Amino acid sequence: MRTPFIAANWKMHKTVVEATTYAGIFRERMARVRDAEVVLAPPFTALHAVAATLEGSRVGVAGQNLHAEPQGAFTGEVSAGMLREAGAAYVIIGHSERRQLFGETDETVNAKLQAALGAGLAPIVCVGETLAERESGRMFQVLNRQIEAGLVSVEAERAGSIVVAYEPVWAIGTGRNATPPQAQEAHAHIRQRVARALGGDIAAGCRVIYGGSVKPGNAGALAAQADVDGALVGGAGLDPGSFAEVVAQSAAPAV
């Protein structure tokens, strides 16, 4: 039985004041939530303050990105150790916006994954095809490449904390989510490829979460799929009430 995993990626939204106000409201909303791992990913500037606001609660904090090196002359970058010390226990790696707008590749994803695991951060590794790739029948090929190259050379004893997020690029911020059967098809495939990369035991326990226009109203039907273990939420994660509703629907999809 995999514990549902639900994360809000705030992207480049929220000042420190806005972020801590949200975190204060949200921690109250989560006080009665059991059997779900719930995470907020604020921008770096608000990460420490959000972690402090959530201290002692069941809600964790994630970085949205990291640099693969532990330190050095990398202006504008942040390391895994810095994220850990600021209060993060998780980090998002290879989000499609990082791949498309900032030139990240499967190789940089793998380097960042190794750095995160080395520092004790649980990685949330994003994969997913573009609309052109799906429509030209290359979806599985793209997912295979992203998983194979992204997860290469990971030590089995460290791999248990890896979460994989399936985020079809055509569904992100578009209001057009994958249907539950489309998500299930991709997630089952991803789990098979994770098994190839990391072994069957790791794959069986790995949370494969869905991202792309998740909101109250579709979260439950997505999470009810056998291989959908939660959600990575953008737009609907910017409001504590709507994100709390997504958590409730994802954690208890049958209700």
Establish if 242 lies at the interface with ligand PGA (CB under 6 A).
Answer: no
Near ligand PGA by CB under 6 A: residue from 42, 60, 128, 234:
234
Residue 206: CB atoms within 10 Å: 24
Taking the complex as a whole, how short is the minimal distance between the CB of residue 106 and ligand PGA, in angstroms? 18
Q: Is 37 a catalytic residue?
A: no
Establish if 245 lies at the interface with ligand PGA (CB under 6 A).
Answer: no
Establish if 123 lies at the interface with ligand PGA (CB under 6 A).
Answer: no
Calculate the CA 29 to chain-centre distance: 21
CB 196 within 8 A of CB 240: no
Q: Is the Cβ of residue 168 or residue 253 nearer to ligand PGA in the bound state?
A: 168
Q: Is the Cβ of residue 195 or residue 238 nearer to ligand PGA in the bound state?
A: 238
CB 246 within 8 A of CB 219: yes
Q: Is 167 a catalytic residue?
A: yes
* Residue 16 structure tokens: 């420190």
Establish if 233 lies at the interface with ligand PGA (CB under 6 A).
Answer: yes
CB neighbour list of residue 125: distance below 8 Å, 6 or more residues apart: 93, 94, 109, 113, 150, 151, 162, 163, 164, 165
For the chain, the first-to-last Cα distance in angstroms comes to 18
Establish if 168 lies at the interface with ligand PGA (CB under 6 A).
Answer: no
Please report the beta strands in 28-108, taking only residues with DSSP state E, as ranges in sequence order. 37-41, 59-63, 90-93
Establish if 6 lies at the interface with ligand PGA (CB under 6 A).
Answer: no
Of 67, 95, 187, 189, the catalytic one is 95
Determine the angle formed by the axes of helices 240-251 and 16-29, rounding to 10 degrees: 40
- Between CA 220 and CA 214 the distance in angstroms is 10
Near ligand PGA by CB under 6 A: residue from 106, 129, 167, 229:
167
Near ligand PGA by CB under 6 A: residue from 232, 246, 248, 251:
232
Taking the complex as a whole, how short is the minimal distance between the CB of residue 238 and ligand PGA, in angstroms? 9
Of 37, 104, 129, 167, the catalytic one is 167
Contact residues: ligand PGA, CB under 6 A: 9, 167, 172-173, 211-214, 232-236
Catalytic residues: 95, 167
